[in-house]
Amino acid sequence: METSITTIKEGKKVTIIRLIGGYGFQRRLRNMGIREGKVIKVVTRHPFGGPLVVSVDDRNTTIGRGMAERIIVEELI
């Protein structure tokens, strides 16, 4: 099932399906390893609408909640 990464539980691994946004937005994410087909894990979700820390290839990236909402993922089968 496709869903935004903000809904995924901490510690869970999922696959990135698509990035919603303009060229610049997609590029910035891909440059930091967040791109389609990659396995991504939610490390922590800061409360009160704070940022998410996600991990791809064992590297952590902090990403604002609004941006994270535009990362669409699918649960691993």
Number of residues that bind another protein (CB under 8 A): 29
Q: In Å, how far from its chain's centre is CA 61? A: 9
4 binds another protein (CB under 8 A): no
Closest CA to 76 of 11, 16, 20, 30: 16
Nearest to 37, CA basis, from 60, 16, 61:
16
Residue 35 binds another protein (CB under 8 A): yes
Residue closer to another protein by CB (options 1, 57) is 57
Residue among 28, 42, 72, 76 that touches another protein (CB under 8 A): 28
Contact indicator for 4, 20 with CB cutoff of 8 Å: no
Query: Does residue 31 touch another protein according to CB under 8 A?
Result: yes
Catalog residues that contact another protein under the rule CB under 8 A: 24, 27-33, 35, 43-44, 46-51, 53, 57-67
